[in-house]
Structure 1
Amino acid sequence: MNKIKIIKIPKIEDHRGNLSVIEKDVLPFEIQRVYYLYDVPAGAERGGHSHKKTKEFLIALSGSFDVIVTDGTLKETVTLNKPYEGLLIENGVWRELNNFSSGSVCLVIASDVFEEEDYIRDFNEFIKSI
């Protein structure tokens, strides 16, 4: 699927601990919103939507989780578990997040501010839109 891509985040290794930096050249969009998911109960799922225009970059800052994506034809599961790489998801891709490990934190960097009109929250509507 060409609408998703793993992107490595620059990592500076040091015996005192590692540091990763996301600056304007790392992502192919200007950052407009940042939010994070945490304390996700065992067995819970997040996501379950697509965006009409927003692009997102997901990172497992701590722990791990699965991102299930589909463009309506192909379906893929990507496990995120490294804080120095993330998953770029273009608009027009349905995503679901599940299988959160205990203590996991999912950071989301978005290309646009929140607008409910940008979301497609019904999978059948998503399929009709493509």
Structure 2
Amino acid sequence: MSDYQIISIPKITDPRGNLAVIEKDVLPFATKRVYYLFDVPSDSRRGGHAHKEQMEFLIAVSGSFDVILDDGHHREVISLNKPDRGLLIPTGTWRELENFSSGAVCLVLSSGEFDEGDYLRSYNEFLRSKGAPSKP
């Protein structure tokens, strides 16, 4: 599975604290929606869907969590734990988030506004869209 990207976010280092900046061509899309997950219990899972058109960029701005990516044929686990590195998830990729540390915050920048029609929320529907056999 190689369509995802880990992208380093440009940062300005200063003795007073670091500043990370996402502008210009850091991402391959214009951000149309920003949201974040917080106070997620460590035994909870988030995500559990894919997008037909939207791309998303996930950042662990605090703490850590794992992102399980699935392209219909392979699964891979990516651990996010640095606020100056993010995960670019391309369209048509199933994602699940788990193993949230205490105080974790997941910031998401999306290429589109919320559109329920863009979601694939059933894993078997996702597999069918990829031409892969359904799972029982």
TM range (shorter): over 0.9
Query: Distance in 2 between the 1:41 and 1:73 partners?
Result: 29
Indicate the SS of the match to 2:125.
Answer: helix
| Unpaired stretches in structure 2, ≥5 consecutive residues | 131-136
Indicate the SS of the match to 1:47.
Answer: strand
What CA deviation, in whole Å up to 9, does each residue of 1:91-111 have, x standing for no partner?
A: 000000000000000000000
| CA apart distance, 1:42 | 2.2
- Name the TM-score, length of structure 1 as normaliser: 0.98
1:111 match: 111
Query: Distance in 2 between the 1:93 and 1:111 partners?
Result: 14
- Name the TM-score, length of structure 2 as normaliser: 0.94
1:20 match: 20
8 Å contact kept, 2:50–2:91: yes
| CA apart distance, 1:49 | 0.2
1:75 match: 75
Q: Residue type matched to 1:11 in 2?
A: K
| CA apart distance, 1:17 | 0.5
1:62 match: 62
Query: Distance in 2 between the 1:20 and 1:50 partners?
Result: 28
Indicate the SS of the match to 2:69.
Answer: strand
8 Å contact kept, 2:61–2:105: yes
8 Å contact kept, 2:5–2:89: yes
1:43 match: 43
Q: Taking every aligned residue pair, what percent have the same amino acid on both sides?
A: 63
Aligned 1:87-126 pairs, distance under 5 A: 87-126=87-126
2:30 match: 30
**Corresponding residue pairs, total:** 130
What CA deviation, in whole Å up to 9, does each residue of 1:24-77 have, x standing for no partner?
A: 210000110000000001200000000000000000000000000010111100
**Runs of 4+ residues over 4 Å off in structure 1:** none
Q: Residue type matched to 2:84 in 1?
A: Y
Query: Distance in 2 between the 1:115 and 1:51 partners?
Result: 10
| Unpaired stretches in structure 1, ≥5 consecutive residues | none
